[in-house]
A and B are shown apart, each in its own frame.
Chain A
Amino acid sequence: MKVTGAQAIVKALELEKVDTVFGYPGAAICPFYDALRDSNIRHILTRHEQGAAHAASGYARATGRTGVCISTSGPGATNLITGIATAYMDSIPVVAITGQVSSELIGKDVFQEADITGATAPFCKHSYLVRSSADLPRILKEAFHIASTGRPGPVLIDIPIDIQCDEVEFNYPENIDIKGYKPNYRGHVMQVKKVVNAIAEAKRPVICAGGGIISANASKELLELAQKCKIPVVTTLMGIGSIPLEHELNMGMLGSHGVYSANHSVYNADLLLIFGARVGDRAMASTNIIAKKATIVHVDIDPAEIGKNIHVSIPVVGDIKMVLNDIIDIAEPGDTAEWNAKLQKIKEEHSVTRKYNIKSSNTINPKYFINCLSSYLDDKSIVTTEVGQNQIWAANHLNVKNARGFITSGGMGTMGYGLPAGIGAKIGRPESPVVVIAGDGSFQMSMQELGTIKQEKLGVKVVIFNNSRLGMVRELQKVKYGGRYTQVFLDANPDFVKLAEAYGIKASRICNNDEINESIKNMLKDNEPYILECIVDPDESTL
């Protein structure tokens, strides 16, 4: 059947079971938009291309399916870059489709031309500049395959406008054969046995659970192994949700912004089992010290992560879910009773969720607020965060109850991520309550997306912790730069309640800890968008 290139793209999206795309039109992508009009695929018009990329990422993280974002050529495409890079750093499956100027004009610096495959090369798992409409079905098929398998990541397809208009015989390939892409899913049997032996011998084992557990849907297996072998678990920022915060074996988030119990566990272990984590510097800074004390097991789907940041004794390349199942089948617990008892005590003594100061009557304690919020969220709920103090408050104080229930920009630390990611999450899982935790700084990086929320009638709830500061940078300047504060004062913040009203979104402001429970209940009572502004003391610390 002959169709246009644009129709071929739409047909491919339908065959990939894409139900929603996030995008922003422009001249060079108009043929695609024209074809999309005849499809049942839902298009969400964001207010900025970056929002479209983040929303696709939030959608992917909430659902486990590949997110799709669309933009035009030139500035539309370059506006996607931060979103693509954010998805790349956190290994999120996203397919980005960009319009491009007509093939014969490429390289002539014509209006809205940008070399987007070149510009995004460092942040894409793979990219295509389409040279013939005949290639479109194969390229779309490959793009979705590459984005969603192995270590997931963003794939960009740049499609010149003439290719969108050319005719193509549409045959969607059933099979894929990419010579250079054959991910290894099954862990090596001998390596798995070595892991099992190490677990049996260990006295002080710890599991470090990363985002790989969540992307592989392996949290059930993680819990099973931890419980079977009585191994305490710490999570990375990306691993939050892989095990409930309140689980007795969960020692919390590790790293420079993590909790004492988690870091103590890692630095005193004799066996560290790193599952689907890339040992980033914020999680484990002193890898030499850790590796000297402990046998390091590293299981990851990406061979390049193994040995990159920490010396590994037992490497296993494979899908974490399969490898965990293989380990569980034959694992026997070691003698970890003493270790667990000690860690339980440390966890009690250093608990961050017990000593909230709620005396103030003119500011909200954000940590206490998040702790309260947890009790109103069910096991379907999703919380997304922005970046800054709000992110760490949420990471350490929220009781995340489901694996895909915490969506945050881990590797890139992208301000302006939380709101559009929340939009994507809500669209992907409309039955789930979605709460965006934001600061006044990061909220303003994507606040134009309130228009998207309103237009699409999305019941996204936004909590803004307003300290009129870039709180985390301010804290850094206090600690590391002798209190020489500079450029961290947001003294001309808008009235966020009025701003919400301008968009026709309900909102309220609280500044007394006594108001927290009522206001959360009120915010969550329906499926309407809502903004709750919480006035926070500028001196409130991150940890």
Chain B
Amino acid sequence: MPRLRRKARAMSLVLVERLSLAFGGQTVLSDVSLSVARGEIVTIVGPNGSGKTSLLRAIIGAVRPSAGKVVRAPGLKIGYVPQKLFIDPTLPITVARFLRLPAGATPDAIARALDAAGVPDLSARQMAQLSGGQFQRVLLARALIAQPDLLLLDEATRGLDQPGSAAFYRQIEAVRQQTGCAVLMISHELHVVMSASDRVICLNGHVCCEGTPATVASAPEYRALFGTGTGGALALYRHDHDHDHDHDHPEKEAAQ
């Protein structure tokens, strides 16, 4: 087992070790450890106020840990889609200009990123004129444009209707298949998430349980938080993904 763990560590894009976060004396996260390996889709679920967004913000370096550390692979490129982005209407900016921030990108790269995000025709539009769904997809395009190794999505489907968010997650999986980037995402839409993830981490100030969607959905900690009403989601998962993934999952270790 130690050999396996070392391997996981060497391959991981991001390694969070015993991370604790506190704001104004209030502990938000305590003793959280996780790692994300190349090419895997990991989803964080948890109730409101469980520290999901804070965890992502710690990974991008926006908040300083009060204990523990975040280790990013050297030269790691992160594409980040924030939970909400408000663009002041006094700021005129086209989609293409937004995608060129801050590093600059060729028109070709912009076209490819918009295409990958499923909104190929928006580059000349003003950001302020986009619909909610278009806006989210442009945010995704911006996250993709630097060809990231790791995509961080913080409730990226907020404001989308159900077909819209289902399409959005299909897009994420397609992107993962094309580029091989890893995805670490937060979502409230358990039924969608359960079918799209390789691994689920259930967070509530600390890691309650983690593993394959099937493992987590049947864990008592998860049921205590979300009830048993997600049984249907699990059925969906089994229906869609009844084949075996050939990944090295840490939870196999735990299960044995």
A binds B: no
Query: Contact residues of B with A, CB < 8 Å?
Result: none
